[in-house]
Amino acid sequence: MKYFKNTLIIFLFSSGFSLCSHSIYSQSANPLRDKVYDKLNVALEEKNDVKSLNLRDQQLFFIPEDLKEFQELTFLNLMRNYLSHGESSLFVLKKLETLNLKLNSFQYLPQEISELDNLKSLDIADNSLTQIPRSIGKLKKLQFLHLSSNSLTALPEEIGDCKSLEVLELAHNQLSYLPQNIQGLKNLKTLKLGFNQFHEFDREWTELKSLEELSLEHNKLKKLPEEIKQLRHLKTLILNNNELTVLPKDFSELKSLEMLIISNNDLAKFPEKLSGLENLQTLIAVGNSFSDSEKARVKGMLPECKIYF
């Protein structure tokens, strides 16, 4: 069983598998606290008491006009329908905290999204978005923003005004840069940028001092800045399937790092000093050019770490 588990791990990451963030808590209603309604007609009978409404997988082509009746609504799931644009009935829900629009057909996010100023979680992943409105910056309480699997080529500078953001997921888009104002996200803990078109690791990202998870797999990075050592709280760093040829000499100053994935790059050596990586539990480095002597050296310096070459 142990052999199978280890082989599976190597297979997943050598084939480009990407870790998923366990942010389900940010997108799910709490049935122990609030009754969750999944039929609109039933909910309308008790509209003044409805706080959680789940209308996923109901073959909706339009956001129901009756939504405006639910002024106490805090949770709304419209996932996996056929929705392509917002309706005014959505933006009058002033108490809404969680909005799930994943797996629909939105090509743009309406400017009116800023009117949901109590919003804490917005999931509009797996749509056809090509842009995000500047008004996104008015969502001062937003903590979770899921934008993966769209067609985004840029983000507005105003994204940096979402000061409460803790999770920003942008994987599987067409991004090659982030706005300079991104460094204003001082509470950001998770940043997912995998499967984009980044050629450079911007030094401004190292200003994200609270960052714990950074995913940059399947891009075109050739090097990392020395300043990456400033990410003192970073626990997970995913860099597989890039074009890295060297790691920064002070890489071991990432003392909180627990998982490092650097598979399928052009690496032949690790930095001379690795002793600072005292919390590293898993290192996945298959698909590089490490010599047998270099592998032995690394294993000797990281005796408590599970290493896969």
Instruction: Domain of residue 80: give its range.
Output: 2-308
What pLDDT sits at residue 73? 98
15, 104, 162, 236, 263 from 12: Cα distances, Å: 5, 28, 34, 16, 10
* Pick from 59, 111, 65: nearest CA to 83: 59
Query: For residue 306, what are the contacts with CB-CB under 8 A and spacing of at least 6?
Result: 6, 281, 282, 283
Dihedral pair phi/psi, residue 220, rounded to 5°? -130, 35
Q: What percent of the chain has pLDDT over 70?
A: 90
Dihedral pair phi/psi, residue 68, rounded to 5°? -65, -15
Element (H, E) at 283: strand 282-284
Average pLDDT, the chain: 92
What pLDDT sits at residue 63? 97
pLDDT, mean of residues 237-265: 98
Answer yes or no: is pLDDT of 17 > 60. no
Radius of gyration of the chain (CA): 22
Whole-model pTM? Answer: 0.91
CATH of the domain at 287: 3.80.10.10
* Pick from 218, 256, 252: nearest CA to 238: 218
What pLDDT sits at residue 9? 52
Domain count, the chain: 1
What pLDDT sits at residue 34? 80
pLDDT, mean of residues 199-228: 97
pLDDT, mean of residues 250-262: 98
pLDDT, mean of residues 215-243: 98
* C-beta of residue 97 within 8 angstroms of C-beta of residue 77: no
Residue 118: exposed, middle, or buried by beta-carbon count in 10 A (0-12, 13-18, 19+)?
middle
Give the C-alpha separation, 73 to 24, whole Å: 19
pLDDT in tens, 101-154: 999 999 999 999 999 999 999 999 999 999 999 999 999 999 999 999 999 999
Give the C-alpha separation, 198 to 28, whole Å: 32
Q: pLDDT higher for 15 or 204? A: 204
Sign (positive/negative) of CA torsion 118, 121, 126, 130?
A: positive
Q: pLDDT higher for 25 or 106? A: 106
144 pairs with which residues across the strands?
A: 121, 167
What pLDDT sits at residue 33? 72
Report helix, strand or coil for 167.
strand
Q: pLDDT higher for 5 or 152? A: 152
What pLDDT sits at residue 30? 63
pLDDT in tens, 27-45: 566 655 789 999 999 999 9
* Pick from 159, 83, 98: nearest CA to 128: 83
What pLDDT sits at residue 26? 46
236 pairs with which residues across the strands?
A: 213, 259
